[in-house]
């Protein structure tokens, strides 16, 4: 849930009075290569008349080449109580650039911008429900809105995503430096030759002919490799309040004093109750665990997005009364409970999501951060908790907020701190398996799995799933087995150790295939699904593998009594800068084999020239994971 959903015109693209030829034939071949859509004209004009009077005008026209490009049209315009839509228009053109459909503001539909978990929200959206009749077509959107808030100034993306090019883009900011002072943070602009013009009261960024980028597997996040412009005010107005910041310390101090102070009061009954729960406990972390457990059992997450609620948490007393809140409200509530038992903690902003996004060190702005978590001082570092989760263990935040710069709000000011990381061997998947093959090639197995780190994050929810859902997941996981039957499974969710264990008993028909007097089977029955990415003849993008992980497998394999080993896979070991793969096979005296496998992939950033080496390493692992053993009937 992003703070202030009405300030998220991140991809709003903007206005001009000129007429453009939207005939698709005139688009240069260089812009249609690798493209599902071509943005023909993209202009945003931000006119800051005063610190509390802003008008934003947008013109955005995109030629959609095929159905995969439909997602790039601008068919909705968000707004809220403080964002007023003054003008709105959509015109649709056919392949020849002839107008075939026109929508005025009165033709737009209006609905709440609910997200499925929002209970209260004043966020709304004007939208057009358009179904294309043929491709290519051009969808042109023009609109204008006003707002009195200058806390957030729209940013600029010059490429909207993979497989979309930009023919012409323009970003204009008009402002009076004596009224409001702006700072600009450029990212990858020189690489893409974005032109910049600056005068006393006007800044213009303009680009032409930005080619579409084809998606390549294991590339860095799109935002890291493409042109992006951040804009933020040093002084601003927000919902009747004024502020001035030049660094993160200033920003955090303003936020704490204006949006957090006075919102942590609790009733005497609640204070007495939480003190009773922690009575006799001296260790601050042990107290914090009791408080976190109380919050998890007695509250639930519901989004609240009304007015200033976009950035400010609802009062702790209100959360205590209704037993729900959004990430801001639940974080503030948990902090208030910890204050009541003398445990220090700090309200924290983070850019949450599977892609790790850091707060920019030298660029304080409200556009950074879409989630709130809590930081608790612990051993010269911090323990982190996400107060919206009713299931995660204390101190475990998973891949949603791991390993990124976040902003801690302290009374004396803001502080950028890195959250806990889960990398390489910390993300571990241990398998201990005992399986048996009978004379007909059928398999029965007892499998013990232990998950640590992000594997815990990805699998611990199985403890809360239905039996049918878990059976489906196991059958999908081992879909290479024939007619697999899950006889039983059991879980141990150890929240103290942050470890999730699974015990599964299963059987599968004809795992070993018969060929005359021989049985042939893959020796690695349960962990042989290494993904080998595509081969590129001319790789364009660098390689990024985030987090890394370790898999360790130990199998005891009981062979059918009537068969002997005719051929067995060779022992193999390879170690590169990308990781390690090692397999060892031991023949035991009791007609059994011991199979040991270690597979480590290291997190890292690599040059595009390293891609083939990275791919070869994964290919080596995949091939050896599927190596066969041949048994000959006695």
Of 108, 104, 18, nearest to 61 by C-alpha is 18
Compute the C-alpha angle 555/559/562, nearest 5°.
180
- The size of the chain, in residues, is 634
Mean pLDDT of 221-234: 95
Question: Cα dist. 509→66, 207, 593, 632 in Å?
Answer: 45, 61, 20, 19
Q: Please give the pLDDT value at position 17.
A: 41
Q: Please give the pLDDT value at position 114.
A: 53
Mean pLDDT of 139-159: 95
Residue found under tokens 């699974």: 502
Of 330, 426, 339, nearest to 385 by C-alpha is 330
Contact 459, 473 (CB under 8 A): no
Contact 93, 99 (CB under 8 A): yes
Q: 311: pLDDT confidence band, cut at 50, 70 and 90?
A: confident
Structure confidence by residue, pLDDT tens digits, 250-285: 999 999 999 999 999 999 999 999 999 999 999 999
SS3 (DSSP) at 98: coil
Cα–Cα dist 111/124, whole Å: 6
**What are the b/e assignments for 433-457, b being 16+ CB within 10 Å?**
bebbbbeebbbbbbbebbbbbbbbb
Mean pLDDT of 392-407: 96
Compute the C-alpha angle 366/339/357, nearest 5°.
30
Q: Which residues pair with 500 in a beta bridge?
A: 451, 493
What's the mean per-residue pLDDT of the chain?
A: 93
Which H or E run includes 435?
strand 428-437
Structure confidence by residue, pLDDT tens digits, 516-525: 999 999 999 9
Structure confidence by residue, pLDDT tens digits, 332-371: 999 999 999 999 999 999 999 999 999 999 999 998 998 9
Percent of the chain with pLDDT over 90: 89
Mean pLDDT of 62-77: 96
Cα–Cα dist 164/604, whole Å: 28
Task: Write out the two tokens for 357.
Answer: 């996004």
What residues contact 285, with CB distance under 8 A and at least 6 apart?
Answer: 376, 378, 383
Question: Cα dist. 449→381, 430, 433, 456, 579 in Å?
Answer: 31, 6, 8, 11, 22
Task: Write out the two tokens for 260.
Answer: 């957090």
Question: Cα dist. 288→277, 300, 335, 397, 487 in Å?
Answer: 11, 18, 10, 15, 40
Q: Please give the pLDDT value at position 111.
A: 83
Beta pairing class for 413-418 and 99-103: unpaired
* Beta-sheet strands, E only, within 51-123: 53-64, 76-79, 83-93, 99-103, 109-112, 118-121
Q: 304: pLDDT confidence band, cut at 50, 70 and 90?
A: low
| Sign of the CA dihedral running 182, 186, 190, 193 | negative
Q: 59: pLDDT confidence band, cut at 50, 70 and 90?
A: very high
Cα–Cα dist 329/309, whole Å: 9
Asked if residue 557 has pLDDT above 50, the reply is yes
pTM: 0.90
Structure confidence by residue, pLDDT tens digits, 370-399: 899 999 999 999 999 999 999 999 999 999
Q: Please give the pLDDT value at position 449.
A: 98
Task: Write out the two tokens for 304.
Answer: 């609240």
**Dmax over Cα atoms in the chain, in whole Å?**
93
Contact 167, 32 (CB under 8 A): no
Compute the C-alpha angle 557/562/566, nearest 5°.
70
């Amino acid at each position: 849930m992003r703070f202030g959903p009405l300030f998220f015109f991140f991809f709003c693209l903007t206005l001009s009075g000129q007429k453009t030829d939207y005939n698709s034939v005139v688009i240069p071949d260089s812009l249609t290569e690798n493209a599902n859509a071509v943005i023909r004209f993209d202009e945003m004009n931000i006119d800051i008349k005063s610190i509390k009077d802003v008008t934003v005008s947008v013109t955005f026209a995109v030629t959609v080449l095929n159905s995969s490009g439909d997602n790039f049209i601008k068919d909705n315009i968000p707004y809220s109580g403080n964002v007023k839509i003054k003008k709105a228009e959509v015109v649709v053109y056919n392949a020849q650039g002839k107008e075939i459909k026109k929508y005025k503001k009165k033709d737009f539909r209006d609905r709440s911008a609910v997200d499925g978990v929002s209970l209260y929200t004043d966020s709304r959206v004007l939208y057009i429900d358009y179904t294309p009749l043929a491709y290519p077509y051009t969808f042109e959107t023009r609109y204008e809105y006003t707002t009195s808030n200058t806390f957030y100034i729209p940013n600029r993306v010059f490429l909207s995503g993979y497989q979309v090019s930009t023919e012409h883009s323009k970003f204009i900011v008009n402002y009076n430096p004596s009224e409001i002072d702006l700072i600009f943070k450029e990212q990858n602009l020189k690489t893409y030759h974005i032109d910049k013009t600056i005068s006393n009261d006007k800044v213009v960024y303009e680009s032409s002919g930005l080619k579409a980028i084809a998606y390549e597997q294991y590339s860095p996040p799109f935002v890291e490799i493409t042109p992006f412009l951040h804009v933020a005010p040093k002084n601003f107005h927000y919902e009747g309040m004024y502020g001035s910041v030049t660094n993160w310390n200033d920003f955090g101090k303003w936020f704490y004093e204006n949006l957090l102070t006075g919102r942590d009061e609790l009733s005497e009954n609640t204070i007495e109750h939480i003190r009773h729960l922690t009575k006799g406990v001296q260790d601050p972390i042990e107290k914090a665990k009791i408080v976190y457990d109380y919050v998890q059992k007695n509250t639930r997450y519901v989004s609240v997005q009304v007015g200033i609620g976009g950035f400010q948490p609802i009062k702790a007393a209100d959360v205590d009364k209704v037993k729900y809140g959004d990430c801001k409200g639940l974080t503030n509530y948990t902090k208030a409970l910890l204050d009541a038992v003398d445990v220090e903690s700090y309200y924290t902003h983070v850019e949450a999501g599977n892609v790790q996004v850091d707060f920019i060190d030298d660029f304080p702005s409200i556009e950074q951060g879409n989630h709130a978590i809590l930081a608790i001082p612990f051993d010269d570092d911090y323990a982190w908790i996400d107060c919206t989760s009713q299931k995660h263990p204390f101190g475990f935040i998973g891949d949603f907020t791991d390993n990124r710069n976040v902003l801690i709000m302290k009374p004396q000011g803001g502080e950028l701190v890195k959250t806990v990381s889960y990398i390489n061997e910390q993300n571990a998947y241990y398998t201990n398996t005992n399986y048996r093959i009978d004379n007909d090639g059928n398999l029965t197995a007892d499998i013990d799995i232990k998950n640590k780190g992000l594997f815990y994050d990805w699998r611990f929810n199985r403890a809360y799933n239905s039996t049918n859902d878990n059976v489906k997941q196991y059958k999908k996981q081992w879909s290479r087995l024939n007619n697999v039957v899950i006889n039983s499974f059991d879980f141990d969710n150890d929240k103290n150790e942050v470890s999730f264990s699974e015990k599964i008993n299963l059987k599968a028909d004809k795992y070993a295939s018969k060929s005359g007097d021989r049985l042939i089977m893959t020796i690695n029955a349960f962990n042989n699904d290494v993904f080998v990415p595509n081969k590129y003849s001319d790789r364009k993008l660098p390689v990024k593998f985030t987090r890394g992980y370790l898999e360790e497998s130990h199998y005891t394999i009981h062979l059918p009594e009537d068969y002997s080993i005719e051929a067995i896979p060779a022992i193999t070991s390879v170690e590169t800068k990308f990781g390690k793969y090692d397999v060892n096979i031991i023949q035991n005296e009791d007609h059994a084999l011991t199979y040991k496998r270690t597979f480590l992939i290291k997190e890292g950033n690599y040059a595009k020239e390293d891609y083939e080496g990275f791919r070869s390493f994964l290919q080596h692992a995949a091939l050896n994971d599927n190596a066969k053993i041949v048994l000959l009937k006695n």
